[in-house]
A and B are shown apart, each in its own frame.
Chain A
């Protein structure tokens, strides 16, 4: 009976129902997309780093796993020492720069021969490798997103580069230039940000890491096999707080929408509440009706929000092909639970007000 009554109530005021459902859907979409975007960027970045093909990544002491944040403080001659260690097959020094012109991109300054030694070389979709100092390679995702073709000029890091080739994505960065050029541009002559190391056999990785630790005590030496698991929002300063704030804003939106919607509903249905009370409906019965209606609105809003999230992801990825948004089932569930909790919290005061209405005053309410 309560279910039927709630359904009829929801259908009776379609505009109010729609606005409430949209409000909750926005809340759910915001949570899913914010988390999906950050998770997507992290995972995609981690996969690309893994895609370099190295077994070990060496960074200076206290360096962030976010290579672009760590500058280039390591002398490049370390590469020679690393190359001489047991189990080390190849070493590729990389200078990493962060480009913020026309989007946010990581640029790898590489030595084509050493980088190929570790990664196995690029797969070219078009063009050729880095030859001239101003040559640049872009990956296919970047080329598609920015409509970049071989032969055109690309303005990156305040410098005009000549697009020499388009390569298959997944080798650490989307943009590659000669290390010597990037060193000159950034004033980091003979410096590197990362050393990617390829072992002669992957099961020699722990032994190689031990040798590197003896050679470079205090340096950050990480196996790339488990790199994805390290790329979490908690490892990026402020990202967890950003996500929490965004979720908080989303919950506040849902809370306010439900609160206002149910509060107006309670005022509008004052006489009906009086009727229910005259029939002997208890306070808990009235609270149950209000909260059950809220729950149904939250479920509808969550479902709509999940659908909207997939739609928005499609829109974003179509408009910005380099963007990765991961919609994770656990966050879909979590966003629904957040919406439900926020909604019930928002409806609890109106429900309490409704349950305490004086039946006589309610019955004469116009």
Chain B
């Protein structure tokens, strides 16, 4: 199949962006000593946390190098943090203007997840405890990246099937000699059965915690403050992707989340769950706490570029197509799906997921075209009350899977964009300075990253 025709002005723009992307990839590999090939670093790869694992000192060095290499001056205001979130956000910065976002303004009051705190029952998350002599070995076989995870820390990875398509989105939590797994599964897939089959006769206990425990989450720019009142101020110092047990309290508290805001999950013993939830609700009154369903969290995940196994993750795609190579290691062999993944790597995919925004309605399943020619499909879509726009995730032919491309979706239009699409308030709220209760004293900037991105 010949590559699709791309008209000249767009071709130039895409080539220019590609050149900057390659420059950023090379800089990241050099500076962070990443053992990765440039093409392993997908544009939407997060820089911090589980992504490329940048820390704040790396970020300083990266900024200095970027400024030296490009002559771009990164603003020294609070909004500058939005420039250093994903590989793509650095490219945006160097390109001089944020492409893509069609956001206008939030409509009506912001959802609780974006403005205060939201409580949700994490019914879709399966929790498993894996322990026994063969536990480490089993998880090494199941996970497509190396299990470098210390006690009390969490690692974000995937479970693949033999065809190397994504089957589950997993946090692996090291708990002394055992592992706690928080798993979101593709419909029809059972992580428990998958692990049991992989374990074979090895001495591993795989214990589902669903009957004995309940998982709830608190997400929002002030989730830390409610959590501090609930479990004590030390929770504020809990680093991202780590957890601790409430001594004698019957719960374990994880700092994670897929909304781009402060996020905490509490895994609580069932007999104590009602009391804990009641306490959260009681404390939550002064935080305007709202109880939200999975749809609200899924919408936030979409706006912030978090992978959703129940939507795009169920489309039979590989991590290469899903921009999830950061959760996979090319140097690791022997995991489930490794052989299929290696085959896919020999012939790199011709399509990739790409975030899109639109002023008009978008729906999963919509066909996407460029100048009348079909170029892809929407896998996930939803109305963003925070952005006042529709947001979607499309699977597009590669030349078009890049920010700043105007496309037709149904009867309307959409533009490809680089997530995260908003400047989350959590990036601007400091637990050592701020409080939900005096937030009116603070002039929180708008959520639209256009307000803060770009050179000065």
Q: Do A and B bind each other?
A: no
Residues of B within 8 A of A (CB): none
Residues of A within 8 A of B (CB): none
